[in-house]
Amino acid sequence: MRIGELAARAGVSVRSLRYYEEQGLLTSTRSTSGQRHYTDRDVERVGFIQRMYAAGLSSRTILEVMPCVDAPSAETSDAAMERMVQERDRLTEHIAELVRTRDSLDRLIAVNRAHRKTLHKAPAA
Amino acid sequence: MRIGELAARAGVSVRSLRYYEEQGLLTSTRSTSGQRHYTDRDVERVGFIQRMYAAGLSSRTILEVMPCVDAPSAETSDAAMERMVQERDRLTEHIAELVRTRDSLDRLIAVNRAHRKTLHKAPAA
DNA sequence: CTAAAACCTGACACTGACGTCAGAGGCAAG
DNA sequence: CTTGCCTCTGACGTCAGTGTCAGGTTTTAG
């Protein structure tokens, strides 16, 4: 498929796909006229990339863990494995922090609700 | 206390504190010479701001929920409460997404470990 | 054949939370 | 007083992912 279809299927912009290629995260075969062509597998790959971005990894870091995705059946480089475990742990810690933050938001909401109930929806002063 | 001490206590840069003030998130009393002065309570306030940033809120959004922090005992504006609940829900969804992403990383790690074990740490080809 | 739509490269714009530098003034210690 | 550190304002730099525009080629539909 060409770049427009991949973009539509993966739910990203054409611009992003070119950027991913520029960053070495995505490769394409080129037709004689220079147009990029992709396979169905690339849809998943772009999805993976997007999730990594959403998890806070940079292009460079995603690139470092890619060997684990590309060659899970081969001798994945130690560096890539190490990086992936490291990012997994970082993500775990980040999730824990977000949960704590959400809890504090919950408490704040509860406190405000309690006060509003107390005031019985009194009008502004 | 002056800005340097607040920065040290809250673990942020002086630059950030000035930026927070510029965004309306933090206020200071000024000495006659124009220097900013803060209270102990501002240390917590900066901590709160930092956690909100870490949770993905923008300056503008933090500003919108601030009434709930500033006046939890008064008639907190409906808009602020609504915004806070909305952000709490967004955060919940984001956490769920991150957990899914971490699970997929876990699976990827497991797959790679299994293959490495199978290969019995065979040297690179 | 021709017009529209998709694609190409290259480059500049943008956003947002800062870093950093310049030039000037404030404040406690020796 | 002066040395040295802290602070002030203002402004420009940065980073990273993406938007967007220009100017040109390719593919597709009629």
Answer whether residue A114 is part of any domain. yes
Asked whether residue B34 is domain-assigned, the answer is yes
**Domain range for B52:** 3-118
Tell me the CATH number at B53: 1.10.1660.10
Interface of A with B in 21-80 (CB under 8 A): 48, 51-52, 54-55, 68-69, 72-76
Asked whether residue A21 is assigned to any structural domain, the reply reads: yes
Please report the pLDDT score of residue B32 as a whole number. Answer: 95
CA B121 to C1' C14, whole Å:
48
A119 interaction partners in chain B (CB closer than 8 Å)? 75
Query: DSSP state, B122?
Result: P
The arithmetic mean of pLDDT across residues A37-58, rounded, is 96
pLDDT > 90? residue A40: yes
Q: Is the CB of B53 under 7 A from strand C?
A: yes
Residue A118 has pLDDT above 90, yes or no: no
B111 domain residue, yes or no: yes
**Looking at the domain assignment, is residue A125 inside a domain?**
no
Q: Which tokens sit at A104?
A: 């504090």
Distances in whole angstroms, Cα of residue B112 to Cα of each of A50, A57, A102, B47, B103: 21, 20, 34, 40, 14
Q: What angle do CA A23, B114, A60 make, to 5 degrees?
A: 15
pLDDT for A82 equals: 92
Check whether B5 has a pLDDT greater than 80: yes
B122 and A CB contact within 8 Å? yes
Q: How many domains does chain A have?
A: 1
In this prediction, residue A69 has a pLDDT band, given cuts at 50, 70 and 90, of: very high
Cβ within 8 Å, pair A72-B98? no
